Amino acid sequence: MRMQKEEVRKPTSMKHASEKDRLRFMRNVLLFVFAVRVSLFVASFLSIPVSLMAVFGSLVLLGWRWAYLKIPPTDIIKKTPWYIIIFAFSMYLRTH
């Protein structure tokens, strides 16, 4: 009986993407993170609430996801683990 070697595969999150595409994607992610951090700093300097900047950033991400990945925002509502969000939100509620 002959033993067969198992094929080792590298895990890829972006299937069928070239190395150049993955590098471009990572560059864009890092630029977005940097832009968010700068915008939070500028917003705090201009007395703009952080929550307003968070909503704006979320809308930008949803728009990007919808425009480039062709995934509608309703997909997030369907896939959201609501029990975790309800639990986390209930941790902050105080009862009198």
Domain assignment present for residue 60? The answer is yes
39-95 pLDDT, tens digit per residue, is 888 998 999 998 888 888 888 888 888 888 888 888 888 898 999 989 888 887 865
Longest dimension (CA), the chain: 74
Domain assignment present for residue 34? The answer is yes
Distance CA 82, CA 72 (A): 18
Domain assignment present for residue 7? The answer is no
**Tally of structural domains, the chain:** 1
Distance CA 11, CA 1 (A): 30
Cβ neighbours of residue 50 closer than 8 Å, sequence gap 6 or more: 40, 43, 44
Domain assignment present for residue 14? The answer is no
Cβ neighbours of residue 43 closer than 8 Å, sequence gap 6 or more: 49, 50, 52, 53
18-47 pLDDT, tens digit per residue, is 888 889 888 988 998 898 889 888 998 999
Domain assignment present for residue 24? The answer is yes
Range of the domain at 27: 19-91
Domain assignment present for residue 69? The answer is yes
